[in-house]
Chains A and B, each alone.
Chain A
Amino acid sequence: EDQVTQSPEALRLQEGESSSLNCSYTVSGLRGLFWYRQDPGKGPEFLFTLYSAGEEKEKERLKATLTKKESFLHITAPKPEDSATYLCAVQDYGGSQGNLIFGKGTKLSVKP
């Protein structure tokens, strides 16, 4: 059974304090791993797609990496506006086109 586990559940950082969020996954065949950002009361905002182990993608202060078992979202020198819940989702080759399996998310709070 496909599974996605994110850790930690919540993370509090001081502005400028870099850290990483973890997403561990179990799938029979990974079609893609997706990172989203979700603000309270809003839909998820697409951040990155990773397809194969060793792949990395960057966007401003965020960098996503992928291994065969997990993905990390590195946040460098975060700012208060980076506060949000970060969601990880995977899609299995065996699943239908839309079947994203989501983790429960990591709620990030960045204090000034």
Chain B
Amino acid sequence: GAVVSQHPSWVICKSGTSVKIECRSLDFQATTMFWYRQFPKQSLMLMATSNEGSKATYEQGVEKDKFLINHASLTLSTLTVTSAHPEDSSFYICSALSEGGSYEQYFGPGTRLTVT
């Protein structure tokens, strides 16, 4: 149980283009999902909290117009990196908050984004 998938697992795009990453909870409903970013040899940094049916909450320093988040259903959240630049290259990981009030987050396998 508590499986989270991400698609794609890796993507290469040209500078100036946009990239969409999907995050799905496969066997449970997730009213709340999270998007993290991880740079090499560093830990995870929370970018934003995604709530089904409402606007995402962004952490300080994260540009909401650049990182568009949509949580359209109880099993799907998407992150769109708009007008990507090489400095946006990173490992993006989503997680979903478990049901039942345990506060546990289950993570997806991550998406490696490379902007050339």
A residues near B25, Cβ cutoff 8 Å: none
Assess the A36–B32 pair: CB atoms within 8 A. Answer: no
A94 at the A/B interface (Cβ < 8 Å)?
Answer: no
Residues of chain B at interface, number, CB under 8 A: 26
Residues of chain A at interface, number, CB under 8 A: 22
- Of residues 67 through 112 on chain A, the ones whose CB sits less than 8 Å from some CB of chain B are 87, 91, 96-100, 102-105
- Of residues 43 through 64 on chain B, the ones whose CB sits less than 8 Å from some CB of chain A are 43-46, 49, 57
Assess the B104–A34 pair: CB atoms within 8 A. Answer: yes
Assess the B49–A41 pair: CB atoms within 8 A. Answer: no
Residue from A43, A44, A97, A99 with most neighbouring chain B CB atoms (10 Å): A43
CB nearest to A101 among chain B residues: B46
Question: With A and B bound together, what is the CA distance between A46 and B2 in angstroms?
Answer: 10
A51 to chain B, nearest CB (A): 9
Assess the A102–B105 pair: CB atoms within 8 A. Answer: no
Residue from B2, B105, B106, B112 with most neighbouring chain A CB atoms (10 Å): B105
* Cross-chain contact of A98 among B4, B6, B97 (Cβ < 8 A): B97
* Cross-chain contact of B105 among A42, A46, A104, A105 (Cβ < 8 A): A46
Q: Mark B97-108, 1 if CB is under 8 A from A, else 0.
A: 100001111111
CB nearest to B57 among chain A residues: A96
B93 at the A/B interface (Cβ < 8 Å)?
Answer: yes
Assess the A42–B44 pair: CB atoms within 8 A. Answer: no
Question: With A and B bound together, what is the CA distance between A33 and B103 in angstroms?
Answer: 10
B residues near A103, Cβ cutoff 8 Å: 43
A22 at the A/B interface (Cβ < 8 Å)?
Answer: no
Interface residues of B (CB under 8 A from A): 2, 4, 6, 32, 34, 42-46, 49, 57, 91, 93, 95, 97, 102-110, 112
Besides the known contacts A34-B104, A102-B44, 5 further A-B residue pairs in the complex with CB atoms under 8 A apart: A43-B110, A44-B44, A49-B102, A91-B103, A97-B49
A-B residue pairs, 3 tightest by C-beta: A43-B107, A102-B43, A43-B110
